[in-house]
Amino acid sequence: MEHGGNIYKAAEQYGINIDAIIDYSDNVNPLGVPYSAKQEIIKNIDALSHYPDPEYRELRMAISEYTGVDYKNIIVGNGATELISLFIKVLKPRKALVVMPAYSEYERELVINGAMVDHYVLKREVNYKGDINELCSMVQGKDIIVVCNPDNPTGTAFTVQEINKLAKVAMEYGAFLMVDETYVEFTDDISLFSSSSIINKYSNLFIIRGFSKYFGIPGLRIGYGLTSNLNLIENINDKKDPWSVNLLADMAARAVLRDEDYIRRSRDFMYTERRFMAAELKKIGNLKVYDSVCNFFLCEILSNISAREITENAIKKGMLIRDASTFKYLNNRQFRVCIKLRNENQMLLNFLKSVL
């Protein structure tokens, strides 16, 4: 299974040093590892002689301060992927509904655990914007609904009001709703799209977030879940390996959550650069660019060139682009690129202009 463009495989296949590749497929904050995380790790390196707190109390308190969600309604894990897996294992759903196209791990875990999976497909004809009423009409008979919000790879999103309606319908039919908010912090206004403000209303709602993308530390593998369902948290903890989050990841995560400068710079940078990239990409002939609320764009080639040709030409120039045809319901003319630093974005724009 491929996650992103796989920079290691590309470097080996084309004989390029990894450090010489600009990865437009990883969707990671281009401002890089926060200085606060580096300092925290260096300062506490000798703490490696201790085990982490198995209850991660200080980390959960920091997440509580950051999200406004009560400390007791927070669970941490070894990346968002561990929590996705554990949530599905605990639930043991028989019938699932997944909003597509989406991250492949959702369906993989559901199938591994014996679920039959139906899809609500975001439609190309309406620029991949979901219809919440249509989605709600498919909830009956399902045990779990899975939504990536904002959606990867399309960059579209449901508002919190729409998720509220979906959670209510799901509760009426006895279904759980899992919302993956990995990319919500890249939006202009988190409060428009995040469901964290409504978890106390719905015991069937489980929200997942991570530190990999927005805080730029995917190598530390740390994520967290939000839910008012304390029985669910207890059941997940019962199945979770002890100390699944290492001590340095715990400390670095606490530091970045309180790093107001990094958060402000990231917000300001993304606000400006997303508008720049959207405008410039739309100027390129033979290219359709779908509107995005987060840090990447789904693009569609309108000429007789495949996404594979584009990505292969790009990697030879040290640029890794995601061929989106690997996502179900997308086609061989579509690719995804994430926002990088201005000079890197300009390199990408120049490349696309030269091949389209």
- pLDDT tens for 33-55 read 999 999 999 999 999 999 999 99
Instruction: Check whether 180 has a pLDDT greater than 90.
Output: yes
- What is the rounded CA–CA span in Å between residue 29 and residue 26? 9
DSSP state for residue 53 in the 8-state scheme: P
Summarize pLDDT for 67-115 with one digit per residue, the tens: 999 999 999 999 999 999 999 999 999 999 999 999 999 999 999 999 9
Instruction: Check whether 7 has a pLDDT greater than 70.
Output: yes
Strands 296-301 and 287-289 come out as antiparallel
Beta strands in 219-311 (DSSP E): 223-226, 287-289, 296-301
Extract the tokens encoding 64. 């509580």
pLDDT at 12: 76
- What is the rounded CA–CA span in Å between residue 233 and residue 92? 15
pLDDT at 5: 55
- The values of phi and psi at residue 46, to 5°, are -75, -15
Q: What is the pTM of this model?
A: 0.95
With contact defined as beta carbons under 8 Å apart, do 316 and 3 qualify?
no
Instruction: Check whether 4 has a pLDDT greater than 70.
Output: no
Contacts of 207 (CB under 8 A, 6+ apart): 178, 179, 181, 194, 195, 196, 199, 225, 226, 227
Instruction: Check whether 340 has a pLDDT greater than 50.
Output: yes
Whole-number mean pLDDT of the chain?
95
Q: Is 190 exposed, middle or buried (0-12, 13-18, 19+ CB in 10 A)?
A: middle
- What is the rounded CA–CA span in Å between residue 108 and residue 113? 9
H-helix or E-strand spanning residue 116: strand 116-121
Mean pLDDT across 309-336: 96
Mean pLDDT across 215-235: 97
With contact defined as beta carbons under 8 Å apart, do 40 and 252 qualify?
yes
- What is the rounded CA–CA span in Å between residue 83 and residue 221? 11
Instruction: Check whether 8 has a pLDDT greater than 80.
Output: no
pLDDT at 9: 78
Closest to 292 measured CA to CA, from 147, 160, 188: 188
Q: How confident is the model at residue 246 (pLDDT cuts 50, 70, 90)?
A: very high
318: left (phi over 0), alpha (psi -120 to 50) or beta: left
pLDDT at 15: 76
With contact defined as beta carbons under 8 Å apart, do 102 and 149 qualify?
no
| Domains of the chain, each with CATH number or no CATH | 7-29+261-355 (3.90.1150.10), 35-258 (3.40.640.10)
pLDDT at 266: 98
pLDDT at 1: 42
